[in-house]
Amino acid sequence: MSADTAKIMDGKAISQEIQTELASETSQFTQETGVTPCLAAVLVGADAASEVYVRNKQRACERVGLSSQLHKLPADTSQKTLLDLITELNNDPLVHGILVQLPLPAGLDSTQILDSINPEKDVDAFHPENVGLISQGRPRFLPCTPHGVQQILDRCGIELSGKHVVIVGRSEIVGKPMAMLLVNRDSTRGPQAANATVTICHSRTTDLAAITQTADVLIAAIGKAKFITADMVKPGAAVVDVGINRTAEGLVGDVDFDDVSTVAQHITPVPGGVGPLTVTMLMHNTLTAARIQTSNAAVE
């Protein structure tokens, strides 16, 4: 395939399609149970990017028919105050999902905070119990960004079963859980969107390009602007860009889009690629959380 014909995988359109599906599922759930799923977001400090993300999450809740709460705390909030708030939200039957926006201000112990969230309300899927369930192939919640990537690929007709997926980046939020989802036997979209042969590369990988060149699907999640160039990509590959880097020329991904578009067959843009899916899959998890807690309440 000639280069400049790389097909754009439109994350914004796919995100809207999934939100429409979720709105209908949520409406049916609320009619059947009388319960409106509720997401509580916790924002500590005034990081500009975090404020934007949290606002986007609240707007998405409205569109899908979920209710939301925003708990805004000052940057000098103590560990104890934050832990007390999490306990209150853990015990509130009207709250189904809890999201603590990261990064937290320096001085707060994020690990202790995230570990204190009730695993059944952990819609980010960061709690070790939920990470363990994912790694055993029986997830309770799916990690939002990796699940979004899986949705994009499958809804663009890209088969993953038996394919070589190379993930560049080993973060706890994207790289590692992405590998676990794709290596599992099944997925929310069926076995064709899983069962991949997965390689994770990182900053100590020797001869990175030699490995990325063997990828049928290349996923970049390293946080380095335009790091992936055409010479690192196999002709005809699908390339997913998870990066969001703020540079002098604006928001750019981890992939050099113009360059890589000349060899890839499919590519996600930044913005408008993976980003919109992260919020949408959080809505999916909030509905799942409400379903779990409502059926637990019924048997108690």
Binding residues for ligand GUN (CB under 6 A):
99-102, 124, 144-145, 173, 278
Instruction: Check 10, 122, 124, 256 and give the catalytic one.
Output: 124
- Numbers of helices and strands, H then E, in the chain: 10, 11
Which position among 10, 19, 57, 122 bears the catalytic label?
57
On the 0-12 / 13-18 / 19+ scale of CB atoms within 10 A, 215 is buried
d(CA 114, CA 123): 11
Do you know the residue count of the chain? 300
In the complex with ligand GUN, the residue whose CB is nearer, 261 or 278, is: 278
In angstroms, give the least distance from the CB of 243 to ligand GUN.
12
Q: Which is nearer to ligand GUN, 143 or 269 (CB)?
A: 143
How many angstroms separate the first and last alpha carbons of the chain? 59
CB of 169 to ligand GUN, least distance (A): 13
Q: By beta-carbon distance, which residue lies closest to ligand GUN?
A: 102
List 10, 19, 101, 226, catalytic entry: 101
User: β-strand 238-241 against 245-247: which pairing, if any?
Assistant: unpaired
3-state SS assignment for residue 63: helix
Decide if 192 is catalytic: no
| CA angle, 131 then 137 then 140, to 5° | 55
Q: Contact, 236 vs 246, CB < 8 A?
A: no
DSSP state of 105: P
CB of 101 to ligand GUN, least distance (A): 5
Residue 14, both tokens = 């796919």
| Residue placing its CB nearer to ligand GUN in the complex, 65 or 275 | 275
CB count, 10 Å around CB of 223? 14
> Is 101 an active-site residue?
yes
Clarify whether 124 is annotated catalytic.
Answer: yes
CB closer to ligand GUN out of 144 and 264 = 144
User: What is the nearest approach in angstroms of ligand GUN to the Cβ of residue 244?
Assistant: 9
Q: Which is nearer to ligand GUN, 58 or 229 (CB)?
A: 58
Q: Tell me which residues are annotated as active site.
A: 57, 101, 124
